[in-house]
A and B are shown apart, each in its own frame.
Chain A
Amino acid sequence: MRIRIDRGRCQGAGQCALHAPELFDQSDEDGMVVVLDDQPPPELRDKARLAEQLCPNSVIRVLEEEDG
């Protein structure tokens, strides 16, 4: 599993940092998304997916890697 972000679209709503604090934070400079772990372990899959769904600006993509 891999997390990709399109930071240019981010508006700093903070949904990802709220619901998946293990994976996302917000920058001290502009409040926009910072990825803490772009290859999260499987137990954080649901949280990563929730952050992807809740992001109001479609910034986050969670990609499943085919070859593991």
Chain B
Amino acid sequence: MSVISPTPSPVPLPTHRGCPFDPPEEYGELRRSRPISRLAFPDGKVGWLLTRYEDVRALLEDLRFSSDRRRASSPVRAFPIRDGDPRVPGSLIGMDPPEHTRYRRLVTRWFTVRRMRELAPRIERIVADHLDAMERAGPPVDLVETFARPIPSLVICELLGVPYAERADFQRWTATLFRLDEPKESVYAARDALWDYMRSLVAIKRQLPDDALLSQLIRGEDPSAGLTDQELTGLGQLLLIAGHETTANMLALGTFALLCHPEQARALRERPDVVDNAVEELLRYLTIVQFGVVRVAREDVEFAGVKVREGETVVASVAAANRDPERFPEPDDLDVTRSAAHHIAFGHGVHQCLGQQLARMEMRIGYPALLRRFPTLRLAVPADQVPLRDDMFIYGVHQLPVTWQE
């Protein structure tokens, strides 16, 4: 007589990490036993969690699922959307084609592989300047403060035409937006402050244009442009947030991982030919979009053997997918020499990261330059005392105290 086990009841998203570099252990078990499982959201609704590479990729390509977060549940904290809020025009992430496509086509030319190669000498200069400043300050330093946060912030400020001197404000608002336990009202206030800031910057660029991206968008060389101030503000704040917050965390967390795997750091320091692979491998291994990517079914959908009902939210765990042994052999090993190009740390489908070539260039230049300038670089505190960003939407470290022999 066979016993049919009852359908397990929905569980909340696993968020507790054992190791600072690995996703919560429950993901491995779910991937093996229930790769499509029922997920309980904090708002009381029930949806789905995907943990296999192939399923996650398939979902993110499937246009029967929408990215509109006003209709979706968040797996960790309610999205900061008030009832009756209009959609932020130009914000890209929560949009679907064809609306999304229009904005994407207006800004993509600024982030192409070729454009980023042209930007490389400037990024090298910025990285060298920050390494000089670290050297002058002397050990120990917080690598987040001296290296990982300022470099991508300065690069995106120059690219957009945002005054770098005003970074303290937008960095603080972004941190507030991304903190899980932040009270709702404070999230709304940060969101409004960022909006007002970008709105007034757009007004300034209309009066006093420069050669950077925001002014060029206003100038509208593209006949399909003619963007409104609202649209420019939405696009501007998305690019500013995405441009400084994500790469900053990859630079700091990636360095932390390398310092905990000295043989990997040595390979990256000594072998220029592994740099490209190392960047892809660190993206895969660390996958800082730690709570996954959210989609909502536009209609009843048969998906990978289950029936997803209209309006149900599906969370695609890119972190779990990037540790799927069917796609990546020995997925829990950090191996900077492997070819991990198939990772989906930048997502997949129409929303795959717009700034990925910029992020790659910053990392390709940043990691080896840091490791070569300070060959004796090491943690200045025990690894278990490094404060982790498990309380933030984007994973990483809050600080990374490092030291070296002078």
Contact between B347 and A32, CB atoms less than 8 A apart: no
Contact between B113 and A18, CB atoms less than 8 A apart: yes
A50 — which chain B residues lie within 8 A by C-beta? 341
The verdict on B374 contacting chain A, using a C-beta distance below 8 Å, is no
The verdict on A40 contacting chain B, using a C-beta distance below 8 Å, is no
Which of A17, A32, A54 is within 8 Å of B113, CB to CB? Answer: A17
Minimal beta-carbon separation of A15 from chain B (angstroms):
8
B136 — which chain A residues lie within 8 A by C-beta? none
The verdict on B179 contacting chain A, using a C-beta distance below 8 Å, is no
State A13–B346 Cα separation when bound (angstroms): 10
Which of A29, A32, A54, A57 is within 8 Å of B222, CB to CB? Answer: A29
Contact between B342 and A57, CB atoms less than 8 A apart: no
The verdict on B348 contacting chain A, using a C-beta distance below 8 Å, is yes
Q: Give the dominant DSSP class at A's interface.
A: loop
The verdict on B352 contacting chain A, using a C-beta distance below 8 Å, is yes
The verdict on B109 contacting chain A, using a C-beta distance below 8 Å, is yes
Which of A13, A25, A57 is within 8 Å of B356, CB to CB? Answer: A13
Contact between B341 and A30, CB atoms less than 8 A apart: no
What residue in chain B is nearest A19 (Cβ atoms)?
B341
State A21–B107 Cα separation when bound (angstroms): 21
Minimal beta-carbon separation of B116 from chain A (angstroms):
8
Q: Mark B68-83, 1 if CB is under 8 A from A, else 0.
A: 0000000000000000
- Report the count of interface residues on B (CB-CB < 8 A): 28
What residue in chain B is nearest A18 (Cβ atoms)?
B113
A17 — which chain B residues lie within 8 A by C-beta? 112-114
Contact between B108 and A12, CB atoms less than 8 A apart: yes
Given contacts A25-B114, A26-B112, A31-B111, contact A14 B357 (CB under 8 A): yes
What residue in chain A is nearest B339 (Cβ atoms)?
A50
What residue in chain A is nearest B108 (Cβ atoms)?
A31
State A56–B60 Cα separation when bound (angstroms): 9
Q: Mark A23-51, 1 if CB is under 8 A from B, else 0.
A: 00111111110000000000000000010
What residue in chain B is nearest A29 (Cβ atoms)?
B109
Contact between A32 and B105, CB atoms less than 8 A apart: yes
B112 — which chain A residues lie within 8 A by C-beta? 12, 14, 17, 26, 31
Contact between B353 and A58, CB atoms less than 8 A apart: no
Contact between B61 and A13, CB atoms less than 8 A apart: no
Within 8 A of A (CB), among B83-139: 101, 104-114
Given contacts A53-B342, A57-B349, contact A14 B113 (CB under 8 A): yes
Specify which of B113, B342, B347 lies most central, judged by the most chain A CB atoms within 10 Å of its CB: B113
Minimal beta-carbon separation of B225 from chain A (angstroms):
11
State A18–B112 Cα separation when bound (angstroms): 9
Minimal beta-carbon separation of B320 from chain A (angstroms):
18
A21 — which chain B residues lie within 8 A by C-beta? 113
Within 8 A of A (CB), among B314-366: 341-342, 346-350, 352-354, 356-357, 360
Contact between B109 and A28, CB atoms less than 8 A apart: yes
What residue in chain A is nearest B116 (Cβ atoms)?
A14
B348 — which chain A residues lie within 8 A by C-beta? 56
Contact between B108 and A32, CB atoms less than 8 A apart: yes
B342 — which chain A residues lie within 8 A by C-beta? 53-54
What residue in chain B is nearest A16 (Cβ atoms)?
B113
B346 — which chain A residues lie within 8 A by C-beta? 13
Contact between A12 and B61, CB atoms less than 8 A apart: no
What residue in chain A is nearest B352 (Cβ atoms)?
A56
What residue in chain A is nearest B100 (Cβ atoms)?
A11
Minimal beta-carbon separation of A3 from chain B (angstroms):
17
B61 — which chain A residues lie within 8 A by C-beta? 56-58
Minimal beta-carbon separation of B363 from chain A (angstroms):
13
13 A–B contact pairs at CB < 8 A?
A: A11-B108, A14-B111, A15-B352, A25-B114, A26-B112, A26-B113, A27-B109, A31-B108, A56-B60, A56-B61, A56-B348, A56-B349, A57-B352
Contacts A17-B112, A26-B108, A58-B61 known; 10 new A-B pairs at CB < 8 A: A11-B352, A13-B356, A14-B112, A14-B113, A14-B357, A19-B341, A30-B109, A31-B110, A54-B341, A56-B347
